[in-house]
Amino acid sequence: MGNKLVGYGAYLPSRIMTNADFERIMDTTDDWIVTRTGIRERHIARDDETVVDMATIAAQRALENANITIDDIDMVIVATTTPELDFPSVGVQVLGRLGATKSQPAFDVRGACTGYIYALHTARAFFTAGIHKRIMIIGAEKMSRFIDWTDRSTAVLFGDGAGALIFEHSTSSYSGIIDTVVMADGDGYEMLHGTENHKIIMNGPETYKRAVMSMPHAARYIMEHAGITADNVDWIIPHQANLRIIESCAARLDFPLDKILVTVDKHANTSGASGVLALAYGFESGMIRHGQLILYPAFGSGLTWGAALIRV
Ligand code: UT7
């Protein structure tokens, strides 16, 4: 059984922090940040604004976009690495906020920056098994909770936000989530991880090297499996961590730059929300149109990496 995309929604906190704002609080420059990362600004949540708040708004917008209510959803899967509470899951809290009454299941997946691909992979499995009819995927992160405001090497890289996508079962096997692949390497844990006191530890250059190998690897796997080439794909939306990584992946995959959707300049790295937010942004800005084929590679802490092929 196949599936199709029927709704999308996004939420970005209203507070925008520019590179100039960082120049005022640490030893950095707009020039360094733009040259090394492509990031110009990021949205930072209010202190009292939680991952559940952001996820709920994105979910509500996706429901409005699909013209359905939360009780039309059979399952909610949330990709997040930054929940305020260890339990219950963000997914269950979103159900509560939206007033769900059908006892539908909800849970979180923790795949860091690859989290939304892990969520898509999980949803595809449920559609293939024919168990659920309508699944909502949410990516929501408050990365600012983990920012060490004294560490210029990581503080400038991250942003907050949430995105939501709704998929519905369909008889077509060539729409919605067509294919997914997810991978992990536990030996890479030290390269990029969060600490118990909520700090990000990252070996930037080593992480960079793995990112530019892993995303093309997963993207190539998906294209070979689907029997397609770059010519068949309308957009590639790589995980939005660094513009140089994105451009390097595009070059390795022989994708022209005009097929690459870039949001890292405006949103920075929103980890598990990145690809979902980028897709919603692509629709809202009119760049992405229904029917287009999207290749979706991601890479993150774990190490984890993967890719999805989606016809929207
Ligand atoms: O989303 C999950 C995956 N994450 C990623 O994919 C991130 C991968 N890594 C990267 O994107 C890049 O490695 C960074 C953007 C994090 C860093 O760029 P880089 O070109 O690898 O720089 P670097 O870490 O080698 O640092 C170069 C210099 C250092 O100074 P020295 O030792 O050469 O004097 C740093 O101290 O840049 C310095 N530096 C900064 N300077 C100004 C580091 N951060 C800053 C900063 N402003 N914010």
Whether the Cβ atoms of residue 156 and residue 91 lie closer than 8 Å to each other:
no
Is the pLDDT reported for residue 197 higher than 90? no
Domain count, the chain: 2
As a whole number, mean pLDDT of residues 96-120 equals: 97
Any idea what the CATH number is for the domain that residue 78 is in? 3.40.47.10
- Return the H-helix or E-strand segment holding 169: strand 160-170
Based on the residue annotation, tell me whether 132 is a catalytic residue of this protein. no
Instruction: For residue 54, report the distance from its CA to the centre of ligand 1, in Å.
Output: 29
Q: Is the CB of 89 under 6 A from ligand 1?
A: no
Q: Is the CB of 215 under 6 A from ligand 1?
A: no
Nearest CA to ligand 1 atom 19: 205
Nearest CA to ligand 1 atom 48: 152
Closest CA to 50 of 124, 113, 144, 125: 144
Q: For residue 141, what pLDDT is reported? A: 98
Is the pLDDT reported for residue 1 higher than 90? no
**24 in the same domain as 150:** yes
> Which residue range(s) make up the domain with 9?
2-170
**133 in the same domain as 59:** yes
**39 in the same domain as 117:** yes
Q: At 302, which amino acid appears?
A: G
Q: For residue 217, what pLDDT is reported? A: 97
The catalytic residue among 121, 239, 249, 267 is: 239
The catalytic residue among 3, 65, 113, 121 is: 113
* Strands of the sheet with 293-300, listed across from one edge: 176-184, 304-311, 293-300, 235-236
SS3 312: coil
Cis peptide before 5 (omega within 30 of 0): no
Based on the residue annotation, tell me whether 113 is a catalytic residue of this protein. yes
